Amino acid sequence: VVFHLAAQPIVRDSYKDPVYTYETNVMGTVNVLECVRRTMSVQSFLNVTTDKVYENREWEYGYRECDPLDGYDPYSNSKSCSELVTHSYQKSFFQDGRCAISTSRAGNVIGGGDFANDRIIPDCVRAAGCGREIAVRNPHSTRPYQLVLEPLAVYMAIAKRQWEDRSFQGYYNVGPDDKDCVTTGTLVDLFCTAWGPGAAWVDQYDGGPHEANFLKLDCSKIKRALNWTPRYGVKEAIEKTVAWSKEYLEGADMLEVMDRQIREFFA
């Protein structure tokens, strides 16, 4: 069983270095799939992409798996290409049923342990941990936010089910319920409430490159196929992230903290 999650995943970095972004996200997928093609023991392959693979028309309803792919920025577009590479390999080399091939398009994930630049929750943790105001670039943009354990659990379920039954292979959106598609401002409000005294944010638009304003997913397909529903809402996801981050800053045993959160999630 092979999971492909490697990527250059930062939108702003993709504008700074588009060639590296395409090399990693497109040719990286080709290289992994070529390994799968040449390794006869592999029976289940899942490529994890992003909700940003769709042609974003800023409409109100969630994008479905059948909607056109055409990411705008180099990151999103390279992940759209990664989807197309996967589809081509599946049709060209795996029609014999030897290996099930799927892609999963996940909404924005949050959780403890993410230290990336230019991501809102890591920015919140860094600022709050130092007693600084949180700078929010686009407080009115809407995104589907979910705790990282949600999609990880789904990825394992997809890989298992398609290994058992090839009819489950395909393309799956993985995101929260509509009520958890919130603006960045609302997300940071939830963070400040969970963090407690001293956490505050300021609107600080810096005129950066294009990013989508409104984006959400229709996840009815995977709910129907795998009988799946999200375990946590965005409020609980923020609370789990804050709890992890505070214990990290206090020097706790993070292996135990992570194991505890996993046990609570699957309880």
> What does the pLDDT profile of the chain (267 residues) look like in tens digits?
999 999 999 999 999 999 999 999 999 999 999 999 999 999 999 999 999 999 988 777 889 999 999 999 999 999 999 999 999 999 999 999 999 999 999 988 999 999 988 889 999 999 999 999 999 988 988 888 999 999 999 999 999 999 999 999 999 999 999 888 899 999 999 999 999 998 999 998 766 665 666 788 999 999 999 999 999 999 999 999 999 999 999 999 999 999 999 999 999
Superfamily of domain 2-266: UDP-galactose 4-epimerase, domain 1 (3.90.25.10)
Name the H helices within 183-233: 184-195, 220-226
The pLDDT assigned to 60 comes to 74
- Residue 3's nearest CA partner among 158, 149, 222, 112 is 158
Query: Could you give the dihedral angle defined by the CA atoms of residues 59, 61, 65 and 68, in that order, rounded to the nearest 10 degrees?
Result: -20
What is the DSSP secondary structure assignment for residue 68, as one 8-state letter? P
- Residue 150's nearest CA partner among 181, 174, 131 is 174
The pLDDT assigned to 216 comes to 84
Q: What is the largest CA-CA distance in the chain?
A: 59
The pLDDT assigned to 215 comes to 81
Q: Which amino acid is at 246?
A: K
- Residue 190's nearest CA partner among 241, 231, 144, 150 is 241
**CA dihedral for 182, 185, 189, 192, sign (positive or negative):** positive
Domain boundaries, the chain: 2-266
CB atoms within 10 A of CB 35: 13
Report how far apart, in Å, the C-alpha atoms of 132 and of each of 31, 84, 197 are. 43, 43, 12
The pLDDT assigned to 114 comes to 92
- ∠ CA 3-5-183, nearest 5°, is 130
212 token code pair: 């989508």
Strand-pair category, 142-147 with 181-183: antiparallel
3-state secondary structure (DSSP) of residue 2: strand
Strand-pair category, 171-174 with 181-183: unpaired
Q: How many helices (H) and strands (E) does the chain have?
A: 10, 9
The pLDDT assigned to 118 comes to 82
Rounded (to 5) percent helix, strand, coil in the chain = 50, 15, 35
